[in-house]
């Protein structure tokens, strides 16, 4: 991120110098510079400049073109590998290019869970490209992108007051959307986990004190069915208040779903649910 910001300052300085020279020498103003694209710098900073392959047949990303609420913009990541493809997606990284901290989340997929879809809600701070980068078992990266019109999501005031947010801190709910006729094993399920947490971005202002609220968010989440990992998330400030993740997976017949979340203040939240009575 530091290198990314240094590049921005360098470009801005160069443009100012060019403008001053134009005035001093009496030459006509140069054509307007093309809009700065942060993506090449993000590839270097986040992915260590690894090659990016066209991922339109590998990973899909769905978001509204214009967000109704920039603080809770829905996003769905969907795998698109054909059934006969011997490769599998091992991780998906979500990057919101123009956000103050562009890496929104990295999802690591359990090797046997067959997670094919993940949905969550994110903050979007400016009109921006949003990239989904899938890492495959062949070690290569594949990228797809979309464009979202939104602004101010990272600095939008929290929806809940401090007392209410603290009273719900770390509370977890799990829902599973299996149909009654589905068997317990080798069956695709859809589930949702919700965590009570303010997920403060560090850019929001306390409306009473007029001071910035320190960043405070869920930065790790892990889910298992029995002892088998389903997915893990490394989160950042772009994940919305009260993180909410909906996903598909293949049941292995385990009787319990377990979750563990950690936040940036070191709190650890754990819960377990019976599959046949997941709780709501």
The pLDDT of residue 241? 97
d(CA 265, CA 267): 6
Residue 23 tokens, joined: 């005035």
From 156, 262, 266, select the one nearest 203 (Cα to Cα).
156
**Would the CA dihedral through 120, 124, 128, 134 be positive or negative?**
negative
Per the CB < 8 A criterion, the answer to whether 128 and 256 are in contact is no
The pLDDT of residue 33? 62
| Residue 227 CB-density burial (10 A; 0-12 exposed, 13-18 middle, 19+ buried) | exposed
Q: Provide φ and ψ at 219, rounded to 5°.
A: -110, -5
Residue 233 tokens, joined: 């998330």
Q: HSE, CB side, 13 Å, CA atoms: give it for residue 43.
A: 13
The pLDDT of residue 9? 38
Ranges of residues in the chain whose predicted pLDDT is under 50: 1-29, 185, 278-280
From 232, 236, 261, select the one nearest 247 (Cα to Cα).
232
The pLDDT of residue 10? 41
Per the CB < 8 A criterion, the answer to whether 93 and 137 are in contact is no
How many distinct helices (H) and strands (E) make up the chain?
A: 3, 15
């Amino acid at each position: 991120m530091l290198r990314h910001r240094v590049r921005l300052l360098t470009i801005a300085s160069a443009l100012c110098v060019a403008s001053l020279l134009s005035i001093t020498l009496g030459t006509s103003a140069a054509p307007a510079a093309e809009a700065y694209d942060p993506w090449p710098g993000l590839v270097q900073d986040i992915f260590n400049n690894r090659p990016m392959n066209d991922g339109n047949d590998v990973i899909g990303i769905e978001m509204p073109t214009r967000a109704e609420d920039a603080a809770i913009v829905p996003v769905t990541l969907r795998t698109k590998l054909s059934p006969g493809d011997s490769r599998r997606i091992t991780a998906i990284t979500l990057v919101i290019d123009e956000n103050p901290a562009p890496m929104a989340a990295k999802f690591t997929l359990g090797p046997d869970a067959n997670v094919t879809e993940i949905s969550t809600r994110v903050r979007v701070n400016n009109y921006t490209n949003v990239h989904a980068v899938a890492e495959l078992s062949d070690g290569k990266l594949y990228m797809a992108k979309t464009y979202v019109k939104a602004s101010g999501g990272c600095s939008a005031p929290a929806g809940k007051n401090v007392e209410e947010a603290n009273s719900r801190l770390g509370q977890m709910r799990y829902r599973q959307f299996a149909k009654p006729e589905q068997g317990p094993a080798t069956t695709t399920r859809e589930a949702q986990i919700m965590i009570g947490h303010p997920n403060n971005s560090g850019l929001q202002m306390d409306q009473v004190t007029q001071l910035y609220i320190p960043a405070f968010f869920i930065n790790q989440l892990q889910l298992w069915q029995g002892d088998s990992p389903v997915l893990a998330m490394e989160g950042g400030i772009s994940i919305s208040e009260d993180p909410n993740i909906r996903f598909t997976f293949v049941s292995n017949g385990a009787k319990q779903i377990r979750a563990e979340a950690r936040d940036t203040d070191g709190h650890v939240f754990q819960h377990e649910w019976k599959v046949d009575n997941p709780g709501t």
